[in-house]
Structure formats: structure tokens, C-alpha cells
Amino acid sequence: MYLLYTVIDYAFLIYRYMLIAYVLMSWVPQMRDTGIGQLLERLVEPYLAPFRRFIPPLGFIDLSPIVAFFALIFAHSGLKLLLQLVFGY
């Protein structure tokens, strides 16, 4: 079970880095046309879409990725706590 805990931990960490990279790529629009940009868009955009639906942009500033990032951190913490309670880690 410790292996499952570690895999979940790393999966959330990698996804957070992907989210940060995707947001930084929005500052340079040409980067979204690259292979890595398209891959990140396919992996990150479905997660960001519900947040963008409810949080409107303020001018040119989109705050939904910030809220999505914190939601991901809270989900990760909640899952870790649940695993600790269930499996005693």
C-alpha cells in the first residue's frame, strides 16, 4: 500500500507541474503549437474547463488556473489524509 501512496503523491506532483507549465505557456502563444504544448493542452484543459466556466476572466487575467491549482492541492491533501486514515500511514 505504501507504493500506491507514493504513486498517487508523485502523480499529483507531476500534474501540478504540468498545470504550472501550461499557465506559463499561455504567456507565449507560439508554444501551444508545439508537440509538448498540444500534449499539455489535452491533459490540463479538461481539468481547467469547469473552473473557467464559473470564474470569469478579469480583463486579460484569467484567475481560474490559480483556483484550480489550489483545488488540486486541497484534493491531494484530502486524499492523503483519507489514505492515512484507512491504511494507517
Kindly tell me if the per-residue pLDDT of 89 is higher than 70: no
Torsion angle of C-alpha atoms 33, 38, 44, 50, degrees rounded to 10: 70
The pTM score is: 0.87
| pLDDT of amino acid 40 | 94
Strands (E), 1-89: none
HSE-CB of 42 using CA atoms within 13 angstroms: 6
For residue 34, give the DSSP letter.
S
| pLDDT of amino acid 65 | 93
Ramachandran assignment for 10, one of left (phi > 0), alpha (psi -120 to 50 degrees), beta (any other): alpha
What are 23's three cell numbers?
Answer: 499557465
| pLDDT of amino acid 21 | 94
Q: Can you give the residue ranges of every domain in the chain?
A: 2-87
For residue 20, give the DSSP letter.
H
